[in-house]
Amino acid sequence: MTISFADPKTLDHATLEEGTTFAPRFDAHGLLTVVTLEDGTNHILMVAHMNAETLSLTLETGIAHYWSRSRKAIWKKGETSGELQEVVELRTDCDQDCLVMVVRQTGRGAACHTGRKSCFYRRVKTDQSESRLEDTGLPRLFNPKDVYGA
């Protein structure tokens, strides 16, 4: 089974925004931005990308598959670390160029490669014309060296 999608160029604006046809608008690199949220809490875990192949794989298997821009390869999240993500719901936005994916984060509950639950563990603080980052205090649920090596 391979799930295919409609071509957004074949849809008028109203159908793209209000219709029932799923026609993801991949960018010039063939990618969509995906925001991943934790089921139940709505906490944001990470932001990553999918191409048509990994979107199809995600829908077929119910397990999150992204496209790694740095490795230029299919990225089955958790394949190395064990932190697989089970898809609960996938939503698209008004102009279908972005997805929200609600997941159950398995393993130790760490979506971030630093071992934290979420990639968003620092907040921006400003003071006059200066900006700096402050840790929000998210604990590490694993030691990256133990999982990925030195």
Binding site per annotation, positions: 93-95, 97, 112, 119
Q: Which is it for strands 122-127 and 32-38: parallel, antiparallel or unpaired?
A: unpaired
Q: Which residues are annotated as a binding site for Mg(2+)?
A: 93, 95, 97
Q: Which of 47, 53, 68, 143 binds a copy of itself (CB under 8 A)?
A: 47
CA 122 to chain centre: 18
**How many residues interact with a copy of itself (rule CB under 8 A)?**
48
Told to check if 52 binds a copy of itself by CB under 8 A, we report: no
Measured distance CA(119)–CA(135) in Å, rounded:
12
3-state secondary structure of 22: coil
CA dihedral 43, 77, 69, 138 (to 10 degrees): 40
What's 120's DSSP letter?
-
Which of positions 78-137 make contact with a copy of itself (CB under 8 A)? 89-94, 98-100, 112-114, 119-124, 126, 128-134, 136
User: What is the closest distance, in whole angstroms, from the C-beta atom of residue 44 to a copy of itself in the complex?
Assistant: 6
Q: Does 18 bind a copy of itself (CB under 8 A)?
A: yes
CB 97 within 8 A of CB 110: no
The contact set with a copy of itself (CB under 8 A) reads: 1-5, 17-22, 33, 35, 37, 41-44, 46-47, 59, 89-94, 98-100, 112-114, 119-124, 126, 128-134, 136
